[in-house]
Amino acid sequence: MEDLGRGKVFKGITMKRERICVIGAGSWGTTVAIMLADKGYNIHLWVYEEELWKLMLEERENPWYLPDVKIPSTVKLYNNLIEAIGGSDVIINALPSHAVKGIFSNIRNRIGPEAFVISLSKGFDPETHQTPSRVLASLIPSPANRRICVVSGPSFAREVAKKLPTAVVSACTDLEWAKKAQELLSTPYFRVYINRDITGVEIGGALKNIIAIAAGISDGLELGYNAKAALIARGLMEMMRFAAFMGAEPLTLCGLSGMGDLVLTCTGQLSRNYSTGIELGRGRSLKDIISSRRGVIEGIGTTRIVREISQRMGIEMPITNEVYEILFLNKPPRAALATLLSRQLKEELDFPREVWSPGE
């Protein structure tokens, strides 16, 4: 297959090395910028914080979010977003989910109709409760808004930066554009699969953070491996149930963006959501945890939004409910555990038939 870095023509667009912009210089945005630069692309990376931008220019690394990883000279660093975007053919959204609407509202007139947008964000907009791809679709001009692609899966940025084996999924309603993202991002150590179920992929990437907080709380309480295994399994069922009600394919949640990301985030010490849960289980207050961290803990906002949606739509989400009460109502973690264990006994596969098989 021809390397996109050499100028492959795809649906009328020639991929040019100098026309890829990554918006957001957190750990993941920085890692993807480096990965694409290693493939031969010239990358524009937009850094929100002026202080961080100056440090990155001076040190050629990201000391806040990805320390000790060198940034190639082919990654050009910008603090001015208009300059960074500069008519890019490919725009990669690597923002926290709560920032997507505000940032892209400011640049919507700078995105051409032929641009290709890839979203790496995991979560929901705090005001509209929409997924990042739907927020972007409402802001980006046609026809570009019909080919937005989402990339998600089990991928700690630091491991990808070390070129350790990683697999993710690229999702778009038009598989040709999912394939385009697949070809753009794939490397010998970063394998990309494709999927049409963009809603399911985004739900998996968002809801696993809620379960990861719960898994961390379980470990903070020293409840053992049995408890965490059960929590992950029941958490996956909760994610699948929510996805089905939202019109996604439940089996998507058994893939990389669901089960894959869930297992990683519930067990890996690099996960901010899991480590937040551990500290909550050990008795530390949420306020203290947030104040001591620099990065966004996506699962906190996601818990609030998913709980609101599930209550409005009548979706049974017992783990999400208990995480919400711990985070926002100061419920003691052991009381939340007691609530979960005292629920009415029931069948394991508790999907309503019409939700599990809506087409029948």
- CB 217, CB 333: distance < 8 Å: yes
What whole-number distance in Å separates Cα of residue 321 and Cα of residue 235? 12
Q: What are phi and psi of 78, to 5 degrees?
A: -130, 145
3-state secondary structure the chain: CCCHHHCCEECCEECCCCCEEEECCCHHHHHHHHHHHHCCCCEEEECCCHHHHHHHHHHCEECCCEEEEECCCCEEEECCHHHHHCCCCEEEECCCHHHHHHHHHHHHHHCCCCCEEEECCCCCCCCCCCCHHHHHHHHCCCCHHHCCEEEECCCCHHHHHCCCCEEEEEECCCHHHHHHHHHHHCCCCEEEEEECCHHHHHHHHHHHHHHHHHHHHHHHCCCCHHHHHHHHHHHHHHHHHHHHHCCCCHHHHHCHHHHHHHHHHHHCCCCHHHHHHHHHHCCCCHHHHHHCCCCCCHHHHHHHHHHHHHHHHCCCCHHHHHHHHHHHCCCCHHHHHHHHHCCCCCCCCCCCHHHHCCCC
Please pick, among 208, 228, 331, 346, the residue that the annotation labels catalytic. Answer: 208
208 carries an active-site annotation: yes
> Rounded distance, CA 153 to CA 150, Å?
10
> CA-based Rg of the chain, rounded to a whole angstrom?
20
Which among 90, 96, 99, 62 has a CA at the least distance from the CA of 77?
62
- What token pair was written down for 264? 């990683």
Cα(181)–Cα(174) distance, integer angstroms: 11
Which residues are tagged catalytic?
A: 208
